[in-house]
Amino acid sequence: MSAMRRLLILTASVSMCAVLALAQSRGGNWPTNGGDAQRSGWVGADARISKDTVKDLQLLFKLKLETQAKGLRPLMPPLIMGRLISYRGFRELAFVGSNADIVYAVDADLGTIFWQKHLEYSTREPQVTASTPECPGGMTATPTMSVPGVAGPRGAPVAAPARGAPAGPVNNWIAGVASVYAISSDGRLHRLNVSTGDDILQPIQVLPANSRTSNLMMVSNIIYTVTSPACNFSRNAVWAIDLTADPPKAASFALSAGEVAGSAGPVIGNDGTVYVQTSGRLLALNPGDLALKGYFTVPGGGSDAGPLALQYKSRELIVTTSKDGRIHLLEARTLLGSQQPVSFQTMPLAISGSLSTWQDADGTRWVLAPVWGRNGTSPNGSVTAFKVEEQAGKAVLSPAWVSRDMISPLPPVIASGVVFALSAGKSGTRATLFALDAATGKELYSSRNLVAASASHAGMTVSNGRVYFSTLDGTMYGFGMFMEH
């Protein structure tokens, strides 16, 4: 090899490393289940992941964490804080909730526990230990960090304070150091110091104890969640916990029109509207006070999948699914009007869990659905991709591709034009992680037999070159691109 060629190769490889390292050093975030206020599952461009490099994905670590043997969500997908300048050093942390009422901070680079916090059950209501599929017990809600309210991919750097800048006083529920918010099984809200796991303030009762709480979503200093079904006589309701009040105030919207079967939790539209899918209707609620702004009666009843908000050209669309497996696409503005909105709907599919969405470089908006059951040549399950297209001035979903066969696939996550899909597997089998070309569905990577058990149904996370999920035996997995330590 000539000296010039070696130099070119060296230059190219160093340049690529530099790009990757720069992105790494900035540190993208994944502050809530689904990644953003719209729960799109899309991280945007990830400098360490591409269609070309994803074949080199590796199992970076697996970590056994304490869980309780009940339900299908013993561990929740991690929230990611890309860069924390802590008293113990610069850290990329993955915050993982466990149904054993524990929040873990895992060092995402090293795959080790940075801290763990047991959220003590402490309320007058006795702790319920019985578990059913509908009411599994324990902590059920993925915690949240503060989530930017504007639609679009994440990856923005963490706003670290300047060196020497004074940190604000920690005297209420939002000021001061960065925090993770969690609601324990006793219904108390915890504000945890991201550096230590300590409760920054005395935890406060905000929800009924022993209820099943959906994934938390904190936008504009308000934490949204849903309690449903009425586990242990708790209410079916949407909740908005206002952290600007001290103590925080909880507003609620009673779900008289039906229960919420899934755990996905509310999504937030671009204007702050709170969307919740019940068994009968898709609700649009006012931010903060949760006043009803509009609704869509889902034909045949809503499924257990959460809704999805997405931006299509200059319009906001809301995607929801019905029990019969149809996907409904609505204009947000019509949903918020006085008339019952009209939707476009797909052919029925056995969709389970929530949908995901992303937009490619050409501006094409995609919707991805985890399908359980036969779809085309995939007998057990698949990820099915649709393009949002315009027909006669109306947004419609156009089928694009169906992935390889999977068993009980989870809602996929997307980064740099790569779809990460998890075949959760059945009891006694192993989960398999796949990376797919987001444009074609072609398989680019398979974890094959690297995962030892079937997957938790709580979901996946992708951030900063790594993909995370967990298995029903309480093991957290981190796959990603190798970085020399």
Binding region for other proteins (CB under 8 A)? 6, 10-11, 14-15, 17-22, 24-25, 83, 85-90, 92, 109, 160-167, 170, 176-178, 193, 195-196, 198, 483-485
Nearer to other proteins, 45 or 177 (CB): 177
Nearer to other proteins, 201 or 207 (CB): 201
CB of 1 to other proteins, least distance (A): 11
Q: Residue 3: which region, alpha, beta or left (left: phi > 0; alpha: psi -120 to 50)?
A: alpha
Sheet of 443-446: strand order equals 413-415, 418-423, 432-437, 443-446
CB of 126 to other proteins, least distance (A): 34
CB of 79 to other proteins, least distance (A): 18
Give which of 466, 468, 433 is closest to 447, Cα–Cα: 433
Nearer to other proteins, 125 or 199 (CB): 199
Residue pair 424/410 in contact (Cβ under 8 Å)? The answer is yes
Nearer to other proteins, 166 or 428 (CB): 166
What does 273-323 look like in DSSP terms, one character per residue?
Answer: -EEEE-SSEEEEE-TTT--EEEEEE-TT-B-SS--EEEEETTEEEEEEEBT
Nearer to other proteins, 25 or 297 (CB): 25
CB of 7 to other proteins, least distance (A): 9
Nearer to other proteins, 10 or 292 (CB): 10
CB of 407 to other proteins, least distance (A): 36
Residue 368, beta-bridge partner list: 356, 385
Measured distance CA(246)–CA(191) in Å, rounded: 13
Measured distance CA(287)–CA(126) in Å, rounded: 33
CB of 254 to other proteins, least distance (A): 39
Nearer to other proteins, 107 or 331 (CB): 107
CB of 8 to other proteins, least distance (A): 10
Residue pair 453/466 in contact (Cβ under 8 Å)? The answer is no
Measured distance CA(91)–CA(110) in Å, rounded: 10
